[in-house]
């Protein structure tokens, strides 16, 4: 058949010439897509890997990838190393600018990420004196609270700005408390202030920025009122570091120098050329201390032993004449053990008899009962000293604080050692060591608020002359559970072995001042 017979019946599309593929254009498109992929990957690494940068922090905050700074507990804080002022200066002061900048980025990054996947946190310890404090504003890195610029007492080449994040309601009290000259003592066993920035100053000194990870409650040893810290809800990373800029820092140092000149005593005698007067280390008149909140501990099961029924002692009738039978033993006077131990002594239900003396055994069956003295009402029994055993739900708090805990009727508290105010110095030196201690004595109320009171031991003239009473520098901080009304200011409080206070911590300052933290456990 002729191939040209149906040539006009073919579709017109088959007769059109084919277009050539533009491989160059497709190469450009593929390269652009690869570039966009690399840019997205690098940008993600830049944003998520460096949240301390202001733009990265802003993007992550809009995406909901930034968590609020976490409040840590003293027993569950991230592990770290505790460095003094001199050790911090030796570590960060010798770094070069590039190395110090990289280290500061890591420190801020650890704090923003709540110290996750961090091998060690740098904590600062030592004594510092506040040079100046100011209120934080939304234009600062921390939007609310106070920041205090302090100088190290042990090493003058280091300055510290200690941040106190808090709500706006606590700021007025914080302004009165964080005054110039107040001493801040950061102790390893009570405080966890993490270093989040280090700045080398122009004169060679080092400025450290630290924030307390516990966000606890603070008070002063000689003053009234307490304030509590709160983790910041957000951070203004665009404000930059440090919180005290160059101008404000110089003004604070000038003000502190004038403050020290006003407090410096006038020099006596004629100065000798070449011999500088030696300055005696001063004792801090006031100190900022942290009051830790008591945390409830879940009760643990304790095996209960079935008590053995006590044998009943048969009392013999007294013959006429009012005297006991011949040869009958007379009751020996009881000697109060030392130290006194109080315990919850609850009698067995249905048994009102008297238990035999230690070392005696019940008479065998069928034998006539031995002569016994007439039954008398004994004095309240005080058990012998034994290792304290905590009952279920009776956790010993580390320090006093607000909250709720179990209370007991008079004389029904768990086993513990009862001490007086004269024994507090020994407790401060040795510590509680896991032992339950109770405090008795007479106290005068100096200050009260909603659930706290500050007491002073009451001493008479004979104790003052013989130096047997508690030192006048003993300060007792009492914490009351919810629903309790603290005693009125100026009143006198008496506590004995039936209604003592439970001691939770005893701190001793360099000048001998004792801060005793107790809590009310009686109903």
Q: In whole angstroms, what is the distance from residue 67 CA to residue 60 CA? A: 10
The CA dihedral of 488, 493, 498, 502, to the nearest 10 degrees, is 80
Q: State the virtual CA torsion across 186, 190, 196, 198 in degrees, nearest 10.
A: 20
369 or 39: which leads in pLDDT: 39
User: Is residue 192 included in any domain, yes or no?
Assistant: yes
377 or 339: which leads in pLDDT:
339
Q: Which of 215, 242, 261 is the C-terminal boundary of a domain?
A: 261
Rounded to 10°, the helix 54-62/23-49 angle is 100
3-state helix, strand, coil in the chain (%, to 5): 20, 20, 55
What residues contact 394, with CB distance under 8 A and at least 6 apart? 406, 414
| Structure-block tokens of residue 515 | 């801060």
Residue 366 lies in a domain: no
SS3 36: helix
Q: How does 392-423 read in b/e, with b if 16+ C-beta sit within 10 Å?
A: eebbbbbbbbbeebbebeebebbbbbbbebbb
- For residue 432, the model assigns a pLDDT of 79
CATH of the domain at 479: 2.40.50.110
Mean pLDDT of 18-45: 88
pLDDT band at 484 (very low <50, low <70, confident <90, very high): confident
- Cα separation of 488 and 498, whole Å? 22
> Taking the CA atoms of the chain, what radius of gyration do you get in angstroms?
37
Flag whether 114 is in a domain.
Answer: yes
Q: What is the pLDDT of residue 380?
A: 42
The arrangement of strands across the sheet holding 492-495 comes to 341-342, 416-419, 437-439, 501-508, 514-519, 474-479, 452-457, 441-448, 492-495
Is residue 220 a contact partner of residue 287, using CB atoms and an 8 Å limit? yes
| Residues 255-289: b if buried by 16+ CB within 10 A, e if exposed | ebeeeeeeeeeeeeeeeeeeeeeeeeeeebeebbb
Q: What average pLDDT does this structure show over 380-408?
A: 46
Q: Which residue has the higher pLDDT, 482 or 313?
A: 482
Query: How far, in Å, CA of 440 to CA of 446, rounded?
Result: 18
Q: Say how many C-beta atoms besides its own lie within 10 A of residue 81's C-beta.
A: 9
Predicted local confidence at residue 427, as pLDDT: 87
Extended beta strands in 153-192, E state: 158-165, 183-186
| Higher-pLDDT residue of 145, 403 | 145
Residue 68: inside a domain = no
Tokens of 98: 């590039």
- How many domains does one find in the chain? 2
Average pLDDT of the chain is 76
Q: Which of 160, 232, 167 is nearest to 196 (CA)?
A: 160
Q: CA-CA distance, 82 to 188, in Å (whole number)?
A: 7
Question: Is residue 343 predicted with pLDDT exceeding 50?
Answer: no
CB atoms within 10 A of CB 424: 24
pLDDT at residue 360 tops 80: no
Residue 344 has pLDDT above 50, yes or no: no
249 within 8 A of 206, measured Cβ to Cβ? no
Share of the chain above pLDDT 70, in %: 68
- The whole domain housing 456 covers 416-519
Asked if residue 137 belongs to a domain, the reply is yes
Tokens read off for 215: 């966000």
How does DSSP classify residue 398? S
pLDDT category of residue 211 using cuts at 50, 70 and 90: very high
The answer to whether the bond into 394 is cis (omega within 30° of 0) is no
- Asked if residue 349 belongs to a domain, the reply is no
Contacts of 232 (CB under 8 A, 6+ apart): 68, 69, 142, 143, 144, 145, 165
Handedness of CA 351, 354, 357, 359 (dihedral sign): negative
Burial class (CB in 10 A: 0-12, 13-18, 19+), 197: buried
Task: State mean pLDDT over 142-153.
Answer: 95
Query: Given 230, 261, 292, which residue is the final one in a domain?
Result: 261
- The pLDDT, as a whole number, for residue 508 is 83
Adjacent-strand bridge partners of 506? 516
How many Cα atoms are found within 13 Å in the side-chain-facing hemisphere of 92?
29
Residue 241 located in a structural domain: yes
Reply yes or no on whether the pLDDT at 208 is more than 70: yes
Give me the percent of the chain exceeding a pLDDT of 90. Answer: 38
What is the distance between the alpha carbons of residues 87 and 77, in angstroms, rounded to a whole number? 22
| CA angle 255–261–263, rounded 5-degree value | 105
DSSP code, position 311:
P
The answer to whether 341 and 384 are in contact (CB under 8 A) is: yes
In this predicted model, what pLDDT tens digit does every residue of 186-203 receive, in sequence order? Answer: 988 888 999 999 999 999
Do the domain assignments include residue 304? no
Q: Looking at 217, 244, 261, which one is the last position of a domain?
A: 261
What value, to the nearest 5°, has the Cα angle with vertex 231 and ends 83 and 197?
Answer: 35
Nearest to 224 by CA among 461, 490, 447, 512: 447
């Amino acid at each position: 058949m002729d191939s040209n017979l149906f040539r006009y019946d073919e579709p017109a599309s088959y007769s059109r010439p084919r277009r050539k593929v533009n491989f160059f254009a497709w190469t450009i498109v593929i390269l652009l897509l690869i570039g966009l992929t690399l840019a997205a990957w690098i940008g993600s690494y830049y944003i998520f890997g460096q949240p301390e940068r202001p733009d990265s922090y802003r993007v992550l905050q809009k995406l909901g990838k930034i968590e609020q700074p976490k409040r840590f507990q003293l027993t569950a804080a991230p592990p770290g190393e505790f460095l003094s002022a001199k050790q911090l200066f030796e570590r960060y002061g010798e770094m070069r600018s590039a190395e110090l900048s990289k280290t500061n980025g890591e420190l801020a990054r650890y704090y923003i990420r709540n110290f996750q996947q961090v091998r060690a946190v740098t904590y600062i310890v030592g004594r510092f004196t506040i040079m100046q404090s100011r209120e934080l504003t939304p234009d600062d890195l921390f939007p609310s609270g106070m920041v205090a610029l302090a100088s190290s007492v042990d090493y003058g080449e280091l300055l510290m700005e200690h941040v106190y994040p808090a709500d706006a309601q606590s700021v007025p009290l914080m302004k009165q408390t964080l005054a110039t000259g107040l001493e801040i003592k950061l102790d390893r066993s009570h405080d966890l202030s993490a270093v989040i920035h280090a700045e080398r100053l122009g004169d060679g000194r080092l400025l450290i920025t630290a924030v307390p990870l516990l966000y606890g409650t603070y008070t002063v040893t000689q003053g009234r009122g307490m304030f509590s810290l709160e983790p910041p809800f957000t951070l203004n990373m665009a404000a930059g570091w440090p919180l005290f800029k160059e101008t404000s820092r110089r003004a604070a140092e000038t003000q502190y120098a004038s403050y020290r000149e006003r407090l410096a005593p006038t020099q006596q005698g004629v100065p000798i050329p070449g011999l500088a007067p030696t300055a005696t280390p001063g004792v801090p008149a006031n100190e900022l201390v942290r009051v830790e909140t008591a945390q409830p501990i879940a009760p643990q099961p304790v095996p209960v032993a079935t008590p053995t029924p006590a044998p009943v002692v048969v009392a013999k009738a007294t013959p006429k004449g009012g005297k006991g039978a011949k040869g009958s033993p007379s009751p020996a006077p009881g000697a109060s053990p030392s130290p006194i131990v109080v315990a919850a002594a609850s009698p067995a239900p249905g048994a009102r008899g008297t238990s035999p003396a230690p070392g005696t055994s019940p008479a065998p069956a069928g034998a006539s009962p031995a002569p016994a003295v007439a039954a008398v009402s004994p004095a309240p029994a005080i058990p012998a000293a034994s290792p304290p055993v905590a009952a279920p739900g009776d956790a010993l708090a580390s320090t006093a604080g607000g909250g709720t805990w179990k209370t007991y009727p008079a004389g029904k508290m768990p086993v513990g050692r009862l001490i007086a105010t004269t024994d507090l110095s020994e407790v401060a030196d040795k510590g509680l060591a896991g032992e339950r201690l109770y405090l008795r004595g007479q106290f005068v109320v100096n200050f009260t608020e909603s659930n706290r009171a500050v007491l002073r031991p009451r001493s008479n003239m004979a104790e003052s002359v013989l130096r047997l009473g508690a030192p006048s520098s003993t300060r007792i901080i009492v914490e009351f559970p919810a629903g309790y009304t603290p005693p009125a200011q100026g009143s006198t409080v008496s506590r004995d072995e039936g209604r003592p206070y439970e001691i939770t911590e005893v701190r001793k300052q360099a000048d001998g001042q004792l801060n005793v933290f107790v809590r009310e456990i009686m109903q």
